[in-house]
């Protein structure tokens, strides 16, 4: 897997400096002669398929084990097919494989950790880098089989893997961190763990995931977690929090929010072109900025109960098919452009506690009549421009 390299020529170099730099087979090491260790700091050829990391160096009669790999050292090594971690490496900077716009695909198919490594392992031939003490999967590859002892999938663990098409998360997995599966374009099928409680920001952003069927244990979905993926969605009642943009630009057709969620945050369903119906439960007290903006087929919005307090800026802007909205009497605020260009909106009931109709709130809708309650003190510019009354 790895080997000790003896630098005969380097024995002629002075050893008074604190560190020396060595390149071997496309990998650059910094040897710190003070602490007696070596670190992988960069690579010089990003087109290689393998980067054999040395176990140690012998320099001037002293042995310097390779103990560290710097963060993002391999970020541009998209042709890398295999990675072997030697036994002395106990410090790996994360993320190892962050996403870069220059080349969004990785070909990595094999990860192996020396069995004598005290901090990391690839247990049971799982083809993954796992931190032993925390059971955290730090880096995976297209042939990873997640062991049923892993509990967390770390940031960027599977980012950009071209050949990753399906994955089963064992029930031991409770947390998926930020960017874990970002830009896995061909990942169409994920079986989620029945113990999963947390999905981080951008976790499946621009993956190829079709069906988003989430377990009843899930509490948290981060910002933009499923943006640009998904054809169908099942949200469990266990949910406490859904981040902004979580399902924006997906292809889901309907959504029923969990009863414990308190707000529909910014851009949650922004430009969901196939979304036709949404049920807002009685627990929701705000629909935030741009929550449904640009969902042009959205025609049926059911708001249950009387907890809703505010409808944010551009919340339903450009929802062209929206024809009727039952705004409950509990609403105290409707922000500017909330229903701008809802061209099929014929009727809307304005709640009696409303004090202002801001700029462009109902501009270019299909409203043919509206009753303005006595509580309204201000009507903003162009609030009803282009309406039919």
For residue range 29-62, list pLDDT tens digits in order: 999 999 999 999 999 999 999 999 999 999 888 9
The separation between CA 148 and the C-alpha centre of its own chain, rounded to angstroms, equals 23
Task: Quote the pLDDT of residue 12.
Answer: 35
Task: Encode pLDDT of 320-329 as tens digits.
Answer: 999 988 899 9
Task: Report how far residue 159's alpha carbon sits from residue 204's, in angstroms, rounded to the nearest whole number.
Answer: 9
pLDDT in tens, 255-306: 989 999 999 999 999 999 999 999 999 999 999 999 999 999 999 999 998 8
> Whole-prediction pTM value?
0.93
Cis-peptide into 250, omega within 30 deg: no
Return the pLDDT at 38.
97
Is 141 in contact with 127 (CB distance < 8 Å)?
A: yes
**Token duo for residue 344:** 């099929």
Nearest 5°: the CA angle 258, 315, 227 is 60
User: What is the arithmetic mean of pLDDT over 191-211?
Assistant: 97
Which are the contacts of 12, defined by CB distance < 8 A and separation ≥ 6?
none
Given the structure tokens 């889901």, which residue do they identify? 252
- Please, which residues bridge with residue 334 across strands? 311
CA 249 centroid distance within chain: 14
What local confidence, expressed as pLDDT, does residue 84 receive? Answer: 97
The rounded distance, in Å, linking the Cα atoms of 133 and 215 is 27
102 pLDDT band (50/70/90 cuts)? low
Which of the four pLDDT bands, split at 50, 70 and 90, describes residue 4? low
């Amino acid at each position: 897997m790895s080997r000790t390299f003896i630098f005969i020529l380097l024995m002629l170099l002075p050893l008074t400096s604190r560190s020396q730099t060595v390149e071997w087979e496309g990998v650059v090491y910094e040897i710190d002669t003070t602490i007696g260790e070596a670190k992988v700091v960069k690579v010089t050829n990003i087109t290689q398929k393998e980067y054999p990391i040395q176990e140690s160096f012998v320099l001037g009669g002293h042995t310097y084990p390779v103990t560290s790999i710097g963060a993002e050292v391999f970020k541009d090594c998209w042709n890398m097919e295999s990675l072997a971690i030697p036994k002395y490496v106990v410090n790996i900077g994360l993320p190892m494989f962050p996403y870069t716009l220059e080349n969004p695909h990785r070909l990595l198919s094999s990860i192996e950790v020396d069995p004598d490594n005290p901090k990391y392992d690839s247990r049971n031939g799982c083809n993954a880098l796992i931190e032993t003490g925390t059971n955290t999967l730090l880096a995976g590859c297209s042939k990873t089989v997640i062991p049923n002892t892993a509990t967390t999938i770390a940031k960027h663990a599977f980012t950009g893997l071209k050949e990753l098409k399906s994955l089963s998360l064992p029930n031991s997995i409770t947390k998926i961190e930020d960017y874990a599966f970002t830009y896995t374009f061909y990942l169409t099928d994920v079986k989620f763990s029945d113990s999963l409680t947390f999905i981080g920001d951008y976790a499946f952003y621009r993956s190829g995931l079709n069906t988003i069927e989430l377990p009843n244990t899930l509490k948290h979905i981060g910002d933009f977690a499923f943006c640009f993926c998904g054809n169908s969605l099942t949200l469990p009642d266990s949910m406490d929090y859904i981040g902004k943009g979580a399902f924006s630009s997906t292809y889901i057709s309907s959504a029923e929010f969990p009863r414990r969620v308190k707000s529909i945050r910014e851009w949650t369903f922004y430009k969901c072109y196939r979304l036709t119906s949404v049920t807002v439960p009685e627990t929701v007290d705000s629909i935030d900025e741009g929550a449904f903006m640009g969902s042009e087929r959205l025609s049926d919005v059911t708001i249950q109960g009387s907890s809703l307090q505010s409808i944010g800026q551009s919340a339903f802007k450009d929802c062209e098919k929206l024809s009727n909205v039952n705004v409950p009497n509990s609403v105290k605020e409707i922000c500017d452009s909330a229903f701008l260009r809802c061209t099929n909106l014929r009727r809307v009931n304005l709640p009696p506690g409303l004090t202002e109709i801001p700029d462009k709130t109902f501009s270019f809708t299909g409203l043919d009549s509206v009753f303005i309650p006595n509580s309204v003190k201000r009507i903003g510019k162009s609030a009803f421009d282009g309406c039919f009354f």
